[in-house]
A = this chain, B = another copy of it.
Amino acid sequence: MIIVMRRQASPADVAGVVARLAEIGCEAHVSAGQFRTVIGAIGDREVISTLPWEAMSGVEKAVPVLKSFRFVSRDFQEEDTVIDVGDVSVGGGSFTVVAGPCAVESREQLLRTAEAVSAAGARILRGDAFKPRTSPYSFQGLGEEGLKYLVEAREKFGLPFVAEVLDSRDVGLVSSYADIIRIGTRNMSNYSLLAEVGRQPKPVMLKRGFTATLEEWLNAAEYIYKEGNHQIMLVERGIRTFETASRNTLDITAVPLVKTMSHLPILIDPSHSGGKRELVAPLARAAVGVGADGMMVDVHPAPDTAKVDGAQALLPSEFADLMESVRALAGVLGLKT
């Protein structure tokens, strides 16, 4: 932690901060410049970060040197985390494709989609039984019935599946059916839900809050990790910016940045970020180029009847076409798909 004193700070103010550091067993390195005195605090990060330095007399600001997450950082673990889901690996040199409908709407809709994405080369199925919707008047999902259809699809087509959970009280239920549990963008800062999925055994897919910084996102992963579940994959799905031409702004730079900050695998969702069908293929190809560990794509047999997010769903044939170019690009970069 670096503590920058105010211009008007007195020697007593400086001494006060130094004394406080000594109390908690930390060293203080004081550097007096012409306009400001700066105090470097050396010691246990967690202890230092709990004190309200900026509330102390004469302090202008406190700048952390280290990020606030620990276990999910590259500082803690140098090598990439690789997550095994059945015979599929996420991370470690593959480009893993997750595909399926945004929401499970019916048995037939799900099975048709699952068959198509499996044939085209997807390795994991997506499909949600619980949907968080901005408006309380929108379709909220089929619940447990949807999870049962997903199990049927897994049995028929051999694809493990990922499904979202919205409420701490449903974690056990979703975990008992799904291969991967997803935390959606709106719940990334729902800390009691994060802790709850951290206590069940299935891998967790953690979407970035559409207004979360990378540091906040990795702190959310830390909430899961510290409860004992270390199989966490991240999904970048666009952030909120001033630009309104696309639903969100895909923050593709997050991929190389996260890879320097953390050992966790990171995928891209080209469907929810852009929000429009014609943007999916270009963004998916960009995901391969930038070095993501995979992607998650919405596919629907009849998008113009979809109950959720139809505007961004690919038809099965469009998805199959996309998979061809994705495989070709991934091949050039030496990645398995």
Contact = CB atoms under 8 A, between A and B. Distances in A.
B191 A304 contact: no
A56 B245 contact: no
Contacts of A274: 253, 256
Contacts of A191: 132-133, 136, 166, 186
Contact of A52 (B190, B255, B310): B310
Contacts of A9: none
A182 to B, nearest CB: 15
Main secondary structure of the interface of A (DSSP, over half): mixed
Contacts of A231: none
Interface residues of A, number: 108
A65 B49 contact: no
Contacts of A32: 42
A136 to B, nearest CB: 5
B291 A63 contact: no
5 contacts: A239-B242, A241-B241, A241-B249, A249-B249, A285-B333
Ranked 6 nearest A-B pairs via Cβ:
A52-B310, A211-B211, A289-B289, A55-B310, A54-B311, A285-B289
Given A136-B195, A287-B289, 8 more contacts: A38-B40, A54-B276, A54-B310, A133-B191, A239-B242, A244-B244, A285-B289, A285-B333
